[in-house]
Structure 1
Amino acid sequence: MDSDFEHLRHKPPTALDQPRELIVACCPMRSNVNISRIVRAASCCAISKVIVCGNVKIDPKIARDGAENLPVSRHRSLAPVLRDLKKDGYMLVGLEQTTNSQDIHHFPFQRKTVLVIGNERQGITDDILVLLDATVEIPVYGMPYSYNAATATCMALYEFCRQFPEG
């Protein structure tokens, strides 16, 4: 083994040149675990903010540092918030399987995007779908026909970061 090799397990990340202008907006969810996993992943990806609706609680044991370092805003209804973000120049992209959804591997995200995450069982409701500029889906190769909401969000966050590695 090369004696000059040093393995750094937890090498600190380099600072982003500019903060990512991605916002994650979650429709009302049932699971505290899902929302906590989403907050943790969003923090790992240096996302600017997470918006949550409904009565879920973020579990600090699951979200870990994300619960402390990431701005999380709570709202009663998602539609008015999305309308305001759209006026501010954000592209609204739903993570949902729809007739016109695009494969996430071929979708060109814009730097200023709101990624809308649906409810675990019902997905994104019709009143929110009509507000979206686009929907993306992650290919599924077996049963069930969709990934868990938190898992799919992690995959979508990774794809956004792959397209914008410097922030």
Structure 2
Amino acid sequence: MPMSRSRFEKFKQVLRQRQHDMTVVTDQVHKAQNISAMIRTADAVGIPEVHMVKPVRGHLVYHNTAGGSGRFVSTRVHPDIQTALDTVRGKGMRLLAAAWSDNAVSYRDMDYTQPFALVMGAEKYGLSETAMEAADAHLTIPMIGMVESYNVSVAAAIILQEAMHQRMRSGHYDLPDPTDAASRKQLFRWAQPKMAAYCDRHNLPYPDLDEDGDLIPPEDPAYRGAL
């Protein structure tokens, strides 16, 4: 099926507005519905990659379906929380942990225009001691009801919406079209997922696309199996 011009332009807009200095780290979150909801939120606010830590108890259950948000947000699974935190710190991100402590501040009082990773704890046990101690700040969401906390995916969505609001006001989403090779490859994967998979499987370079995102058929016979 040919790619529509409007859908291809939407792909380019989404790619242009991706916030590469903003991410989420899940500290042993394991329920599929919570992980899927956080990935959906990540896509909605422009986060290109989510970091997940394998749970000590139970299993990390997540099915990355091509038709959902998982197609547009990459996921990276780490063996432990320290590895995950070191990875995002290595990218220059502050660690903002959603957790109560004596030094915790309201999530609205935090500056999200600087590079950061939002660290979310497991459903039953919350954040690990390692994550609590490593965090640069602890964030809380004011509540007035009987419940003591929001669902982990709901809490992440509330905080990330505030982050997007601040970044929109500061012009973080007003970006030019990316021209680097990695972005061009990502655009091709979104526009032509089957051809991208074929090229990756056979170690072939991605062919060119026209202005509508449709494939310009390559003459090389190596591509015939996918045409």
Give yes or no for TM over 0.5. yes
Measure, in 1, the Cα distance between the counterparts of 2:130 and 2:97.
12
- 1:144 maps to which of 143, 147, 151: 147
* Residues 53 and 81, structure 2, Cα contact 8 Å, conserved in 1: yes
* Residues 27 and 124, structure 1, Cα contact 8 Å, conserved in 2: yes
Q: Does 1:56 align with 2:93?
A: no
TM-score by length of 2: 0.62
Quote how far apart the aligned CAs of 1:84 are: 3.4
Deviation larger for 78-87 or 106-115:
78-87
* Residues 25 and 84, structure 2, Cα contact 8 Å, conserved in 1: no
Please identify runs of 4+ aligned residues in structure 1 that moved more than 4 A.
none
Q: Name the aligned partner's letter for residue 25 of structure 2.
A: A
Per-residue CA deviation, residues 77-129 of structure 1 (Å, 9 max, x unaligned), is 12122123223321110011121111011111243101100111211111111
* Residues 33 and 59, structure 1, Cα contact 8 Å, conserved in 2: no
* Residues 50 and 73, structure 2, Cα contact 8 Å, conserved in 1: yes
Aligned CA distance change for structure 1 residues 56 and 64 (closer, same or farther; 3 Å): farther
TM-score by length of 1: 0.83
Measure, in 2, the Cα distance between the counterparts of 1:64 and 1:134.
36
SS of equivalent residue, structure 1 residue 33: helix
Measure, in 1, the Cα distance between the counterparts of 2:137 and 2:69.
27
Correspondence for 2:161: 158
SS of equivalent residue, structure 1 residue 120: coil
Correspondence for 1:15: 13
Per-residue CA deviation, residues 147-166 of structure 1 (Å, 9 max, x unaligned), is 00010011011011011014
Aligned CA distance change for structure 1 residues 94 and 140 (closer, same or farther; 3 Å): same
Q: Does 1:36 align with 2:36?
A: yes
Measure, in 1, the Cα distance between the counterparts of 2:33 and 2:87.
28
Measure, in 2, the Cα distance between the counterparts of 1:46 and 1:159.
13
Measure, in 1, the Cα distance between the counterparts of 2:24 and 2:67.
18
SS of equivalent residue, structure 2 residue 13: coil
Correspondence for 2:131: 128
Correspondence for 1:93: 96
Which protein is richer in helix relative to its size? 2
Aligned CA distance change for structure 1 residues 26 and 135 (closer, same or farther; 3 Å): same
Q: Name the aligned partner's letter for residue 40 of structure 1.
A: R
Deviation larger for 76-85 or 113-122:
76-85
Q: Name the aligned partner's letter for residue 46 of structure 2.
A: A
Quote how far apart the aligned CAs of 1:145 are: 1.1
SS of equivalent residue, structure 2 residue 83: helix
Across the aligned residues of Structure 1 and Structure 2, the Cα RMSD in angstroms comes to 2.2
Deviation larger for 154-163 or 120-129:
120-129
Measure, in 2, the Cα distance between the counterparts of 1:130 and 1:92.
10
* Identical pairs, percent: 21
SS of equivalent residue, structure 1 residue 15: helix
| Equivalent pairs, count | 155
- 2:117 maps to which of 106, 109, 114: 114
Q: Name the aligned partner's letter for residue 161 of structure 1.
A: M
